[in-house]
Amino acid sequence: MKGAISIMFIVLLDISFMVPSSRADFSHTNGRPSCVKPYEFERVWRNNFDPTKYWRCYKIGLAISYECQLQYLYLDSRQGCVHFTQWKWEPPYDPITDLRRHNK
């Protein structure tokens, strides 16, 4: 039973990477906030390239990457990790103060 669940998880994870990448939309970053504005510390931020990870501002200018536990994926609309059976793809977006814009 555990083997079947693990295989199903891997297949679903592979599909989740294929669907968004088939659109070839690479106009966004990995979603890491620059951690310079107070509101960036009030929530966690999705990693746009890896649904198992998310960002949290630790201190000014420093975001730390966290990983969901096994079989869980980060869902931005829920602001937390959910079981892969409850996860759905959501369009990626960058924080308003992402590092690309902040360093210009």
pLDDT of residue 102: 45
pLDDT of residue 22: 45
Q: Which two tokens stand for residue 98?
A: 């992402």
pLDDT of residue 29: 84
Domain boundaries, the chain: 2-102
Q: What is the mean pLDDT of each run of 10 residues along the chain (104 residues)?
A: 60 51 59 93 95 97 98 97 97 73 47
pLDDT of residue 58: 96
Alpha carbons within 13 A on the beta-carbon side of 102: 14
Instruction: Please give the Cα distance from 63 to 20 (Å, whole number).
Output: 25
Instruction: Please give the Cα distance from 93 to 6 (Å, whole number).
Output: 29
Closest CA to 83 of 2, 4, 9, 1: 9
pLDDT of residue 82: 98
Residues with Cβ within 8 Å of residue 30, at least 6 apart in sequence: 47, 48, 49, 50
pLDDT of residue 21: 46
